[in-house]
Amino acid sequence: MGEFQLIEWIRQQLDEDDPDLSLGIGDDAAVLNLPADRELVITTDTLNSEVHFNSETSPPDLGYKALAVSLSDLAAMGARPKWVLLSVSMPAEDRLWFEAFVRGFLELASNIGVTLIGGDTCSGVLSVTVTALGLVRPGQALTRTGARAGDLVVVSGHLGDAALALFEQQGGETRDEICFQALHRPVPRIALGLSLVGKATSCIDISDGLWADLGHIAQQSGCGAIIEVARLPAGSALYEQQESKRWQLQLTGGEDYELCFTIPPQQKSSLQELSTELEIELTVIGKIVAGRGVQCVRPNGQLVELEHRGYKHFEH
Ligand code: ADP
Ligand code: MG
């Protein structure tokens, strides 16, 4: 068994019915048949062992999540995902591990309808990189730069579940199943991203924590934001925590892979309709203001102060 048998095994798992793929896995590179009236949106993300996951992460969960985090970036751009590349570095050839890992990856790929068109398989430290390609109408990609004072700040789903699961895992505590799923099987909000095209003034996916990620929108749009922490959407496991811990997890925990976006206030009524249609909770948590930075306000009007505002590599 070697690299080439592993690649051949992957190829056998794929359905070959993508009319927009001129040449898939097996040559030196893939060839895509791009529609003339679309822009290509490309993103890549790496998950490293002991940084992004550890031995607690099962192979299929790792495969699933490696794809989910890249698709989440396409969702945040309002792109329709089309193709993905999968690069795997692993210390030793472990066929069972590899097949379980790829099955998790392909499970999500088939749910979303993206085609695996290539990648790389090599030996080294355990690390997974997924590159995802999607399409948008020209000039329609959702960016971080369009938020304006007066816009409402909205998030999808619940915040803090994944962070709570990670916290529990690190402390060896009992696990809440919903939080465990949120950490290991985040659902990329593709349909929501597509629906926000032409509606949202800015959008980002929450990977490093709401405070940091909304901070990117604020900074890149040249404005500030005010968040009312009492409005942050949470599930029952989060409500069992003390308020200060709940807010810390929800504001800075990261790994939510929900979308945070801004809409002009006149669009507020369309949120309910969208939420019903997509069966996704959409919560207005604050607004964009003139100024700089993101302020988080308690119900009594006091500002929330936290030790750190989100995950940053190279700062630990
Ligand atoms: P080269 O050495 O020319 O880069 P490789 O042997 O790395 O070729 O890859 C052969 C083919 O298999 C290419 O089409 C590549 O994209 C594909 N491939 C390699 N690894 C993977 C993988 N993990 N998932 C999907 N396709 C892969
Ligand atoms: Mg190669």
Q: Pick the residue whose CA is nearest to atom 27 on ligand 1.
A: 119
Best probe residue, ligand 1, of 5, 7, 86 (max atoms within 8 Å of C-beta): 7
Q: Which residue has the tokens 């099987």?
A: 185
Distance 22 CA to ligand 2 centre (A): 19
Distance 52 CA to ligand 2 centre (A): 24
Distance 60 CA to ligand 1 centre (A): 20
Distance set, CA 167 to CA 110, 162, 173, 249, 296 (Å):
31, 9, 9, 9, 22
Q: Kindly provide the b/e burial profile for residues 245-264, where b requires at least 16 CB atoms within 10 angstroms of the residue's own CB.
A: ebbbbbbbbbbbbbbbbbbe
3-state helix, strand, coil in the chain (%, to 5): 35, 25, 35
Amino acid of residue 244: S
Distance 122 CA to ligand 2 centre (A): 8
**Ligand 1-lining residues (CB < 6 angstroms):** 7, 10, 25-28, 86, 88, 116, 118-121
Give CA–CA dist 257/159, Å, rounded.
9
Q: Pick the residue whose CA is nearest to atom 20 on ligand 1.
A: 120
Query: pLDDT 10s per residue in the chain (316 long)?
Result: 688 999 999 999 998 788 999 999 999 999 999 999 999 999 999 999 999 998 889 999 999 999 999 999 999 999 999 999 999 999 987 899 999 999 999 999 999 999 999 999 999 999 999 999 999 999 999 999 999 999 999 999 999 999 999 999 888 877 899 999 999 999 999 999 999 999 999 999 999 999 999 999 999 999 999 999 999 999 999 999 999 999 999 999 999 999 999 999 999 999 999 999 999 999 999 999 999 999 999 999 999 987 666 666 666 5
Can you give the pTM of this predicted structure?
0.95
